[in-house]
């Protein structure tokens, strides 16, 4: 059956329209003025600049004392927009209604020409934006476009032009005022980290920024045609300090934009599709060297926002690229690991904001160079784009008092909240989503480079690269497992469950492993077993227990996992002889587990709901790095774990999402609920359910939330950590846990938000005041746990039993394995 050809053409046309609309951004406020002109003019043919000389009342001009002039001898290659100007002999201003408060772009075009009455080259004037002086004693003899980015909270925006001396005058050729995309400059959830200092400064979006440089590193010049915010990006050649060090890199594939990373509004595709990388073939250079750029900036000590754009277009697979970033010789970001920062998606764009101070040299230097983590055969570093913006407004004196030449690193959390855009994008995406129907929250994710400063994860050694050839490479022979477990020696059994027994064992290369052996006769689920393995084998993450291999010989079904030395989180909280974890360790464990869960929900090719998050399914390796275990096996479809168990119970009493009972539908927010219970467990060091306690204490979540609502949660904190935990960190942690345990899924944060909040808790614990949480909470805004994203619709509609078996539920082999291993 064939579609009529013209129908296909119509559809194609429709899709191309969708793509076109995807590529453009429509600002809510959008004023484009062709100053001093009687006619409307288009600039770069795409946007229409309106005449400012229309009838009184409809004009944006607030005074009548300005003069329109036009260039008597316009040069043929100068745009029509620049052939007229408005002159302000005694000062005057434009006024615009601001319909949407927030960050706006203001661009002022100055193209001086000589008319009979005025030579614009001799003009000298000031420009004020709502009374704030952005330009002083300005004069120019060539075309200049000034761009300011600032938050406007007043209903009116006034741009004033005031002559610098009595006999002088001001002028302008064109004015652009338009709303920036939401979160273009992050404030909420944005942190300012000063090395050797614990200051928190979350006020970047309140600063007035002036764009000084905007560079498409390694690429071609981009004009307003190529940019959804009509920016101009210039090439980097003239800024490279040693051209021999750099080599252009480019790709023809569009960047893999992800929620939480950069967007096309942050920088257009082309910025991320081109870069400079180390020219390692250059024989004259040492093996290790930096690529450096120098940018002219103010010679005075002025703070600059340095926004660096990255997209790993040079690696052939994940985890190949590690590099350092220096600003003014200062190590601004050590061991940038784009694979991790982008949640293990290659060629996914992101940006990192830094704030650096200019010095008397008048040059701001940016270098990227190899990290010690790099594989010597793959030493490389890259940079895709640079924006440098001068911070014009006086920053709070506290921050300025910092050390000279210090680089402040502002970590844009790039938490979502692109409300306007997201809604629009979401609609369009829903329409044209083709290959993958995983619903992601429009504003989820909380990747934050901040974690890199804590050096909390040192588990790189346990990461493996998986060959793309799929699960066949994971096949392990029965003989090897037989010898590695001493022929399945009963003394090596570390767990028993529905699926069979779990043995501690080792492979030929002495890797310690946990071997889950299906009970004989459970082979009826073989096809499902194999398809699950295909999926599981592709899930690799630092915070997920990896499948090492499997065996399906001699009517056996065996799964082999990495062995986790320190066992389950639970055994480090209570009920064992292990020394209690410190509060910081607990936070790091929670952050790691959240990161693993986040990857399951959003990072893998199909959103996976864990369905059984609990403290026995969070395992610790030798370095106490947390990894989530026992995921994926019952992702969808027939479940191998259930071939043996009739109830189909998944999920454990005390951790189960109450909404599940109401709606009979499991979503990723069900995992968030369970994770909230784990958070309380970590805080209070008692089981999620303890039937031996009095009735109101049996269920941990209910009990803890009751104390939390009374504002007395500190009363039930684990005595082992009560002295150590700072009130501000406790407060934030408790709020996060409480939100996770909200009755309705929509009221719960996404795991990405939880992750971000936990990072924040750790930050507060390390740098917050010792007491008086209010002080801290005064201006640290919640990064969005209150925001609601659509939760992933789950396709798992399986019945739960009554879930009363907290210990021997069907797919908890692994948790039991670890419970026992911990002893
Ligand atoms: C310019 O465009 C505006 C809006 O489209 C219109 O109202 C106005 O009449 C036009 N002015 C001229 C001079 O064409
Ligand atoms: C942020 O900066 C603006 C302008 O410098 C200032 O008025 C405001 O009080 C600051 N807010 C906070 C929370 O520091
Ligand atoms: C930028 O836009 C112009 C005009 O549409 C086009 O010719 C050029 O190829 C574009 N450049 C890039 C890098 O996309
Ligand atoms: C890169 O530049 C930084 C800052 O100037 C310097 O400290 C570092 O040693 C350089 N690295 C290499 C490999 O040259």
CATH value at residue 109: 2.60.120.430
Q: Which of 183, 612, 630, 753 is catalytic?
A: 612
- Rounded Cα–Cα distance for residues 738 and 730 (Å): 12
Ligand nearest to the CA of 269: 3
> From ligand 4's centre to the CA of 2, what distance in Å?
62
Q: Does some domain include residue 412? A: no
How many domains does the chain fold into?
A: 4
What per-residue confidence (pLDDT) applies to 822?
A: 31
Q: Does some domain include residue 367? A: yes
What per-residue confidence (pLDDT) applies to 496?
A: 65
549 plus 644 within the same structural domain: no
CB 268 within 8 A of CB 222: yes
Which three-class secondary structure state does DSSP give residue 33? strand
574 plus 557 within the same structural domain: no
Position in ligand 4 atom list of the atom nearest CA 365 = 5
Give every CB contact of residue 115 below 8 A, 6+ residues apart in sequence: 69, 70, 71, 72
CB atoms within 10 A of CB 417: 19
For a ligand 3 pocket test, name from 216, 226, 234, 235 the mutation site with the most ligand atoms within 8 angstroms of its C-beta. 226
213 plus 175 within the same structural domain: no
**Per-position DSSP letters for 678-712, written without gaps between them:** HHHHHHH-S-SB-TTS-HHHHBHHHHHHHHHHTT-
What per-residue confidence (pLDDT) applies to 591?
A: 95
As a three-state string, the secondary structure of 232-260 is CEEECHHHECCHHHEEEEECCCCCCCCCC
> From ligand 2's centre to the CA of 395, what distance in Å?
8
Q: What are the Cα distances from residue 173, in Å, to 104, 144, 675?
A: 20, 10, 58
552 plus 571 within the same structural domain: no
| CATH code: domain of residue 658 | 1.10.510.10
164 plus 231 within the same structural domain: no
- Rounded Cα–Cα distance for residues 652 and 649 (Å): 8
φ and ψ of 276, to 5 deg: -110, 135
| CATH code: domain of residue 465 | 3.30.200.20
Task: Compute, in degrees rounded to 10, the torsion defined by CA atoms 157, 158, 159, 163.
Answer: -170
> From ligand 2's centre to the CA of 206, what distance in Å?
6
φ and ψ of 209, to 5 deg: -110, 140
Residues whose beta carbon lies within 6 Å of some atom of ligand 2: 203, 206, 393, 779
Closest Cα to atom 3 of ligand 2: 206
- The verdict on whether residue 516 carries a ligand-binding annotation is yes
Q: Does some domain include residue 21? A: no
639 plus 729 within the same structural domain: yes
657 as an active site residue: the answer is no
Which residues sit opposite 567 in a β-bridge? 620
Region of 362 on the Ramachandran plot (φ > 0 left; ψ -120 to 50 alpha; else beta): left
Position in ligand 1 atom list of the atom nearest CA 38 = 13
Closest Cα to atom 12 of ligand 2: 203
Look at residues 562, 594, 617 and tell me which one is the last residue of a structural domain.
Answer: 562
Look at residues 179, 207, 230 and tell me which one is the last residue of a structural domain.
Answer: 179
Ligand nearest to the CA of 37: 1
91 plus 140 within the same structural domain: yes
> From ligand 1's centre to the CA of 27, what distance in Å?
20
Position in ligand 3 atom list of the atom nearest CA 270 = 13
Closest Cα to atom 1 of ligand 3: 226
Q: Ligand 3 pocket, 220 CB below 6 A?
A: yes
Q: Does some domain include residue 444? A: no
> From ligand 3's centre to the CA of 225, what distance in Å?
7
375 plus 354 within the same structural domain: yes
487 plus 523 within the same structural domain: yes
Give every CB contact of residue 98 below 8 A, 6+ residues apart in sequence: 29, 104, 152, 154, 155, 156, 157
What per-residue confidence (pLDDT) applies to 526?
A: 64
What per-residue confidence (pLDDT) applies to 502?
A: 81
Residues whose beta carbon lies within 6 Å of some atom of ligand 1: 39-40, 50-51
Mean pLDDT by 10 residues, the chain (823 residues): 41 36 73 90 78 69 82 89 92 92 96 91 94 92 95 93 87 96 70 44 82 96 91 93 90 86 90 94 78 89 89 92 89 87 87 83 90 87 96 56 38 30 33 32 28 24 29 73 90 71 87 82 58 71 86 80 90 90 95 92 75 89 90 44 34 77 77 95 92 83 92 92 93 95 92 93 85 40 31 30 28 31 31
> From ligand 3's centre to the CA of 20, what distance in Å?
15
491 plus 625 within the same structural domain: no
φ and ψ of 593, to 5 deg: -65, -40
275 plus 386 within the same structural domain: yes
Q: Does some domain include residue 408? A: no
CB atoms within 10 A of CB 68: 15
Q: What are the Cα distances from residue 490, in Å, to 477, 485, 494, 496, 667?
A: 20, 9, 9, 11, 39
How many whole angstroms from its chain centre is CA 306?
18
End-to-end CA distance of the chain: 65
598 plus 479 within the same structural domain: no
**Structural domain harbouring 72:** 29-179
CB 279 within 8 A of CB 245: yes
DSSP 8-state class, residue 514: E
Q: Ligand 3 pocket, 225 CB below 6 A?
A: yes
From the list 106, 135, 125, the residue with the least C-alpha distance to 171 is 125
Q: Does some domain include residue 586? A: yes
What per-residue confidence (pLDDT) applies to 2?
A: 42
Look at residues 506, 541, 562 and tell me which one is the last residue of a structural domain.
Answer: 562
Which three-class secondary structure state does DSSP give residue 353? strand
């Amino acid at each position: 059956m064939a579609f009529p050809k013209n129908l296909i053409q119509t559809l194609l046309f429709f899709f191309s329209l969708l793509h076109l609309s995807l590529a453009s951004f429509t600002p809510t406020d959008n004023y484009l003025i062709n100053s001093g002109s009687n006619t409307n003019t288009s600039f770069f043919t795409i946007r229409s600049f309106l005449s400012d000389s229309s009838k009184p009342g409809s004009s944006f001009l607030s005074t009548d004392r300005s003069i329109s002039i036009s260039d008597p001898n316009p040069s043929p290659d100068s745009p029509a927009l620049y052939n007229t100007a408005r002159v302000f002999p005694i000062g005057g201003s434009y006024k615009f209604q601001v319909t949407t408060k927030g960050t706006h772009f203001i661009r002022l075009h100055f193209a001086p020409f000589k008319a009979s009455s005025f030579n614009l080259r001799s003009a000298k004037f000031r420009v004020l934006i709502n009374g704030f002086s952005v330009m002083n004693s300005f004069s120019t003899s060539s075309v200049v476009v000034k761009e300011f980015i600032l938050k406007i909270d007043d209903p009116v925006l006034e741009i004033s032009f005031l002559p610098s001396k009595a006999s002088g005058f001001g002028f302008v050729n064109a004015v652009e005022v338009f709303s920036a995309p939401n979160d273009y400059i992050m404030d909420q959830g944005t942190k300012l980290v000063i090395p050797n200092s614990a200051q928190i400064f979350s006020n970047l979006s309140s600063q007035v920024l002036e764009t000084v440089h905007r560079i498409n590193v390694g690429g071609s010049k981009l004009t307003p045609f190529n940019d959804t915010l009509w920016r101009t990006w210039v090439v980097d050649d003239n800024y490279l300090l040693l051209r021999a060090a750099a080599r252009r890199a480019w790709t023809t594939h569009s960047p893999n934009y992800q929620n939480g990373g950069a967007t096309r509004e942050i920088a257009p595709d082309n910025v991320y599709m081109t870069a400079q990388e180390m020219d390692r073939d250059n024989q004259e250079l040492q093996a290790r060297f930096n690529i450096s750029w120098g940018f002219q900036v103010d010679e005075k000590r002025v703070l600059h926002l340095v926004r660096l754009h990255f997209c790993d277009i040079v690696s052939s697979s994940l985890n190949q690229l590690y590099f350092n970033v220096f600003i003014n010789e200062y190590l601004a970001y050590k061991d940038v690991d784009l694979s991790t920062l982008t949640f293990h998606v290659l060629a996914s764009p992101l940006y990192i904001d830094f704030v650096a101070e200019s010095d008397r040299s008048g040059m701001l230097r940016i270098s990227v160079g190899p990290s010690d983590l790099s594989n010597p055969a793959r030493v490389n570093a890259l940079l895709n784009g640079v924006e440098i913006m001068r911070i014009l407004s006086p920053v709070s004196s506290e921050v300025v008092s910092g050390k000279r030449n210090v680089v402040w690193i502002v970590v844009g959390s790039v938490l979502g909240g692109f409300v306007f855009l997201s809604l629009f994008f979401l609609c369009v995406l829903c329409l044209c989503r083709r290959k993958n129907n995983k619903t992601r929250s429009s504003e989820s994710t909380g990747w934050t480079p901040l974690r890199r400063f804590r050096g909390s994860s040192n588990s790189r050694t346990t990461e493996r690269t998986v060959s793309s050839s799929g699960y066949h490479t994971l096949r392990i022979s029965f003989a090897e497992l037989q010898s590695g477990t001493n022929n399945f020696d009963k003394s090596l059994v570390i767990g028993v469950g529905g699926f069979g027994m779990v043995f501690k064992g080792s492979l030929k290369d002495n890797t310690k492993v946990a071997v889950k052996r299906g009970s004989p006769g459970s082979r009826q689920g073989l096809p499902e077993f194999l398809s699950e393995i295909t999926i599981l084998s592709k899930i690799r993450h630092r915070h997920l227990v990896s499948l090492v291999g499997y065996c399906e010989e001699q009517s056996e079904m065996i799964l082999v996992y990495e062995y986790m030395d320190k066992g389950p989180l639970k055994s480090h909280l209570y009920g064992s002889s292990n020394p209690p974890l410190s509060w910081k360790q607990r936070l790091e464990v929670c952050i790691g587990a959240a990161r693993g869960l986040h990857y399951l929900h959003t990072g893998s090719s199909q959103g996976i709901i864990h369905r059984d998050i609990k403290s026995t399914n969070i395992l610790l390796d030798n370095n106490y790095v947390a990894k989530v275990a026992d995921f994926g096996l019952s992702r969808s479809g027939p479940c191998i774990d259930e071939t043996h168990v009739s109830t189909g119970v998944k999920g454990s009493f005390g951790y189960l999402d109450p909404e599940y009972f109401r709606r009979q539908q499991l979503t990723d927010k069900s995992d968030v609920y369970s994770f909230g219970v784990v958070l309380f467990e970590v805080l209070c060091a008692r089981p999620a359910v303890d039937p031996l306690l009095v009735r109101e204490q049996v269920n941990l979540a209910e009990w803890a939330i009751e104390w939390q609502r009374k504002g007395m949660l500190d009363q039930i904190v684990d005595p082992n950590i009560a002295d150590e935990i700072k009130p501000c960190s406790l407060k934030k942690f408790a709020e996060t846990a409480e939100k996770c345990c909200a009755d309705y899924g929509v009221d719960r944060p996404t795991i990405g938000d939880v992750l971000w909040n936990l990072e924040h808790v750790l930050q507060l614990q390390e740098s917050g005041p010792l007491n008086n949480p209010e002080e801290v909470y005064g201006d640290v805004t919640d990064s969005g746990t209150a925001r609601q994203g659509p939760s992933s619709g789950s396709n798992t509609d399986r019945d739960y039993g009554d879930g009363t078996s907290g210990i021997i539920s069907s797919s908890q082999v692994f948790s039991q394995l670890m419970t026992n291993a911990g002893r």
